[in-house]
Structure 1
Amino acid sequence: MNKIFSELCYACRVGDKENVDRLASTGVNLNAVDEFDNSPLFLASLCGHEEVVKLLLERGAVCDRDRYEGARCIYGALTDSIRDILLQYDISKAVDLNQPFVMHLSSLLKESAYQTHDICITSLGSKQNNRLRLHKFILNTRSPGFAGQVDFFNGGKHCIEIPSSVSPTVLEIVTKFIYLVPVLHEIDARDMNCLIDLSALWGMSELKEFLERVRHVIDPSEKSTMMVEYQHRITERAREQLCCFVNDNILRNAVDVGPNLSLRSQELISMFNSSAFPDLIVVVENSMGLKRFYPCHLAILSRSNYFKIMFDLPLAECFAYKQFKAYRNIPSPTEIPTVSFPPCEFEVAELLLRYLYYDASEIPWQYAMDVLLIADHLLEDRVKSMAAVVITQSKDILEEYSIFQILYLGWETRMERLEHYAAKIVANDIQRYAKDPELKKAIMLSSTRISIRQETDSIEFVDDMRYYLLQKYAFEADDVEFLGEEDDEDLLKASGFSDYMKDNSTIEALLGKLNLQA
């Protein structure tokens, strides 16, 4: 650890704002950690130096609660006011590598077991003549001006040579930018003019704006702050671009066919000729037997664990990828690979596609149950969690579904959140639900789910209801034991203990009727 950073850590620990200001101005890395894994921001927040915390954040220190160090800062803060300041600066939704779709998009620049690229680009200035293996749909989406400079549409060239005036270094930086690899810190002042010209030519306005601003900034900490700001803007802009791409090129080019019918050969060819630049077709069949065909991309579907496993297996031959290689022209209908989603409504499939392409997280409550089920099939745990949150927070869901449908779905998809939610709803209105035969069925089903039998079996659903009964009346287990020995009826009524015992007796009565012990 260098001397300047050691001094900075000490100044943050003791609250020496003047020294922190001086040392930060030297360009020292404000987000480094000492031998005890403590960052300057963590030390200042832990020791309660609010002004130092503000100064560090203004100078580019990062507080990101999705990372270990950021979480330590927030939860280790000495005062609530410091914690509030840190939360205001929290960039957990802005740091690119914490965004799953960004991580996936960046990973596409690496070679994979199955080739997903359909275009290669090389700079004539490269001595090694290295090729960048890229994707037409990403280039067209993220760099709208690029398509106007080179003809790769409608069976055009699949290998593009960039003039030697664009150095391999500049081309690599631009490519990383397009694929959302954090690259702003790699830019050399000598490449600035060429990068500005190229970003203007290829329609990358955020990169151009950043370069024009940062070239006049000398203070390293100010540069760091600017990079954080622009990385967030770049990510959000990419999300908007991919949203438009899905709307304009995938959903708009989808084709519906009736029950027991298939897509005509010419329609398939037309779909592959579209501006979506697809390399596979996703087929979805809804409850009416109608089918919808979506032009999609192996590069994006491979983000789903379900499809990734499928593509990694020898079954890849089924998708015609041995015949349909990169750089080929439009394949014949027999070569066009297709994959199927589990049967569901088209709206549900489109919510999943939007998530895979750009992390769309808005799930209308009307579709949340179906989204959860399909996401479980596709092994998408993050989508399952988002759908479960919508279900448990919706005020309207119980008008459409019974609490027992939600419980059973929770069991089927292994979402404990739904199990607890159902137990809480039932416990809070146990007198009404006790009259519903479905409650007895739910308790019996829960009893069959016991994995380890003991002298007195534990039934999870019943245990959860008892727990939420305690919460309903704001009791602890010790309170129940204490009040159970009390004879003062007025006290028992006033404390709510009488009502608690009535509800608890209702549960016991149900167990008695079912001949169950729990």
Structure 2
Amino acid sequence: MENMENTEERTVLRKDQLEISLHNEKRLIKEGTIKDDNPLDLSEPFRELCSACRRGDLKACQEKITEGVNVNARDLYDYTPLILASLCGHYEVAQLLLESGALCERDTFQGERCLYNALNDRIRNLFLEYDYSKSTDPLQPLAAHTASLLTRETPVTTDITVAVGDQDIGLHKFILAARSPYFRTKLAAAPETTTWKLPSATPPEAFAAAIRYLYLGEAPRELRSGPGTGFTESEVFTGIDKISKYLEIESLMDSLLDSGDRRRARQRRTTELAKGREQLEEWFRQNVLGHRVVVETSKVNDVKWDRNNAIFADVLLRADELPDEDDSAADEIPKSALFPCHRAMLLRSEFFQAMFTSSFREAHVTNDLHIIDVDCSPDVLEIILTFLYTERADFPLEIAIDVLFAADMLFIEKLKTKAAVVISTLGSGVSQSEAARTRGTKDEDDIDIYAIIRAAWLTRVQRLEEFAARFLAYRLEAHIDSPEFAELIQESAARIQARQETDSIELLDDIRFYLNERFRLRFDDAGLDELMEEQPPPANGDGTAQGDDMEKIIEGVEAINVANSTPVIVPEATSQQPYGYTREIRTLDGALVEDEFDEDAMNYQILLEKLDALLERLNLDA
């Protein structure tokens, strides 16, 4: 028992164990037993991703991930993006890579390197919190929901019944058509089909394995056979082979054979999930988005869509187009978009799940499909449907706030998180350290930070609140004197019900924390944190100050200068620039200082004093 506990507590392999692991891994890859999780990538997009990971550029990382760059590839020096982010100490970049599917697997060379190279304990703990012994597959939620449809009893969303032996199994036509070429052809020729009988010679366990595969379920480690089932193990495997060829899903048998080896099973699982997502996405774009209907808003209720349709839709979602503020044609006829959808996939939203399991009109089955109004624009609804059907959520920063509110309204937590990631990465612009050095003005910001923090409050997204506080702290001199900033502080204070004088203001506390982080990053390295504190004058051995002695020295120096008729020259605070140019270094209040470190030290105190003055002006205590 003690040995088991010691094994669980071990988190990092010894170096000799790492070398053995690397040798064995390369041998298995060369033999073709396993695939290389970290293939060599010398392409320009991957090089740009690695460069962004070194710099900590969240925006560039998100853009490259959205383009489809492999986050698990390695460069010429065997560095993966996750190792680079870990080595350079960029916590937010490492978190983004993990959320995007970066591998950090126990007992592998690259996985252990992530922990060895972690610049600080915060990044190391991040890897451990993500349970680095397992890889995070971004498609797992989609697979889990699709597989759960096989056992879900309410609401009833099945539209075809398959007779297997003495039992009937309810299935979904659109999933069968998307995943199996056989069913796609059969249902395209006869979309009204509601029953299908399996040949009696086919073992039910073989058909169950095929259906589980079509519904993105994991391959079973063992198949029921032998006494009590009526089929031997060889007959079950023969049946699986036959039905995989019949349904044209040849990779089914390979999935079963690889299920015994953990790493091969994971790689096979990842490959099959990616393939399944591509098939569902292709079907979704051709049949759901391809049959989108745009009509005049006044005529929406006149649209009739029969339940027996060729794309097997059982509900219509409506989104009204928003009026264009820049459009001069004020009398333009308002229009609405209708999307034919499947309730089975809409159940991923808790909003629709509650609707379809209630006694509301939308939960009843009628000959004509119900039209459900969704309070968002057609573009936002298309993004939501794409996520529900394919787990893909790629959208620009300009629409991210609208997606955030729509996901919050429909209770799609993962899409809310994705919208927050898009805003906090693409909206960060340059890296925080560069923003602190450049000290840009408020007009240079690409986003409305005040709208973002209010959206974070309304949707209860902690990640956005932290991003907004850090954004403001690193650009505080551009915002602290604006009326909008003062109003924001007041709103933050008002969010505390029955606020007392001793209660803090959450936003202000976060800004102070990140403001301290902003300046401490430079002071710690240079040993200039002592500048933040006032030093008392040096004292004699008896404890008396040496002020009188210093005055005498100064008077003596002045006398010498007068005698030599040499004026005292006080050097101006300048910063030497290339080609002989100089720049005066001034603090926020206009005072001249010797160098940029003094400038930062003074600016830090000035900004803290401005925050305190703002609180006094607003009659707030924090």
The TM-score by the shorter chain falls in which range?
Answer: 0.7 to 0.9
Say which of 492, 500, 523 aligns to 1:446: 492
Deviation by residue 1:279-337 (Cα, 9 ceiling, x = unmatched)? 1111112313421111111111111111112223232xx1252x44xxxxxx2x3xx22
| Residues 384 and 51 (structure 1), Cα distance of their counterparts in 2 relative to 1, 3 Å cut | same
Give 1:124-135 correspondences, 5 Å limit: 126=165, 129-135=166-172
Q: Which 5+ residue runs of structure 1 have no aligned equivalent?
A: 11-33, 325-330
Give 1:386-465 correspondences, 5 Å limit: 386-395=418-427, 401-451=447-497, 453-465=499-511
Q: Does 1:237 align with 2:278?
A: no
1:376 equivalent in structure 2: 408
Q: CA deviation at 1:446?
A: 0.8
Say which of 178, 190, 195 aligns to 2:240: 195
| Residues 244 and 470 (structure 1), Cα distance of their counterparts in 2 relative to 1, 3 Å cut | same
Query: Secondary structure at 1:463's aligned position in 2?
Result: helix
| Residues 80 and 232 (structure 1), Cα distance of their counterparts in 2 relative to 1, 3 Å cut | closer
1:50 equivalent in structure 2: 18
Q: Does 1:507 align with 2:611?
A: yes
Deviation by residue 1:68-99 (Cα, 9 ceiling, x = unmatched)? xx989589x99647768999x97624497xx1
Give 1:454-493 correspondences, 5 Å limit: 454-474=500-520, 483-486=532-535
Looking at structure 1, the residues matched to 320 and 605 of structure 2 have their Cα atoms a distance apart, in angstroms, of 51
Q: TM-score, normalised by structure 2?
A: 0.64
| Residues 154 and 490 (structure 1), Cα distance of their counterparts in 2 relative to 1, 3 Å cut | closer
| Residues 473 and 151 (structure 1), Cα distance of their counterparts in 2 relative to 1, 3 Å cut | closer
| Alignment RMSD (CA, Å) | 3.9
Q: Check the 8 A contact 2:105/2:135 in 1, yes or no.
A: no
1:122 equivalent in structure 2: 163
Looking at structure 2, the residues matched to 447 and 95 of structure 1 have their Cα atoms a distance apart, in angstroms, of 38
Say which of 304, 307, 313 aligns to 2:358: 313
| Residues 505 and 74 (structure 1), Cα distance of their counterparts in 2 relative to 1, 3 Å cut | farther
1:284 equivalent in structure 2: 319
Looking at structure 2, the residues matched to 466 and 381 of structure 1 have their Cα atoms a distance apart, in angstroms, of 29
Say which of 139, 143, 168 aligns to 1:102: 143
Looking at structure 2, the residues matched to 491 and 400 of structure 1 have their Cα atoms a distance apart, in angstroms, of 30
Q: Check the 8 A contact 1:242/1:358 in 2, yes or no.
A: yes
Q: Check the 8 A contact 1:141/1:241 in 2, yes or no.
A: yes
Looking at structure 2, the residues matched to 401 and 492 of structure 1 have their Cα atoms a distance apart, in angstroms, of 28
Deviation by residue 1:163-196 (Cα, 9 ceiling, x = unmatched)? 2232212111111111112125335554333323
Give 1:201-216 correspondences, 5 Å limit: 201-207=246-252, 210=255, 214=257
Q: TM-score, normalised by structure 1?
A: 0.76
Deviation by residue 1:393-431 (Cα, 9 ceiling, x = unmatched)? 115888564211111111111112222222222222222
Say which of 299, 303, 307 aligns to 2:348: 303
Looking at structure 2, the residues matched to 299 and 466 of structure 1 have their Cα atoms a distance apart, in angstroms, of 47
Aligned amino acid, residue 50 of structure 1: L
Looking at structure 2, the residues matched to 493 and 54 of structure 1 have their Cα atoms a distance apart, in angstroms, of 46
2:215 equivalent in structure 1: 179
Q: Check the 8 A contact 2:177/2:187 in 1, yes or no.
A: no
Aligned amino acid, residue 409 of structure 1: A
Query: Secondary structure at 2:170's aligned position in 1?
Result: strand
Q: CA deviation at 1:228?
A: 2.5
Looking at structure 1, the residues matched to 203 and 157 of structure 2 have their Cα atoms a distance apart, in angstroms, of 26
Looking at structure 2, the residues matched to 84 and 501 of structure 1 have their Cα atoms a distance apart, in angstroms, of 35
Q: Does 1:496 align with 2:607?
A: no
Aligned amino acid, residue 498 of structure 1: M
1:339 equivalent in structure 2: 372
Query: Secondary structure at 1:408's aligned position in 2?
Result: helix
Looking at structure 2, the residues matched to 279 and 178 of structure 1 have their Cα atoms a distance apart, in angstroms, of 21
Aligned amino acid, residue 615 of structure 2: L
Say which of 176, 187, 200 aligns to 1:139: 176
2:298 equivalent in structure 1: 260
Query: Secondary structure at 1:435's aligned position in 2?
Result: coil
Query: Secondary structure at 2:167's aligned position in 1?
Result: coil
| Residues 503 and 136 (structure 1), Cα distance of their counterparts in 2 relative to 1, 3 Å cut | same
| Residues 320 and 227 (structure 1), Cα distance of their counterparts in 2 relative to 1, 3 Å cut | closer
| Residues 298 and 202 (structure 1), Cα distance of their counterparts in 2 relative to 1, 3 Å cut | same
Q: CA deviation at 1:38?
A: 4.7
Q: Check the 8 A contact 1:486/1:492 in 2, yes or no.
A: no
Aligned amino acid, residue 321 of structure 2: N
| Residues 150 and 252 (structure 1), Cα distance of their counterparts in 2 relative to 1, 3 Å cut | closer
Q: Check the 8 A contact 1:250/1:294 in 2, yes or no.
A: yes
Looking at structure 2, the residues matched to 54 and 348 of structure 1 have their Cα atoms a distance apart, in angstroms, of 46
Query: Secondary structure at 1:362's aligned position in 2?
Result: coil
| Residues 232 and 80 (structure 1), Cα distance of their counterparts in 2 relative to 1, 3 Å cut | closer
Looking at structure 1, the residues matched to 447 and 596 of structure 2 have their Cα atoms a distance apart, in angstroms, of 37
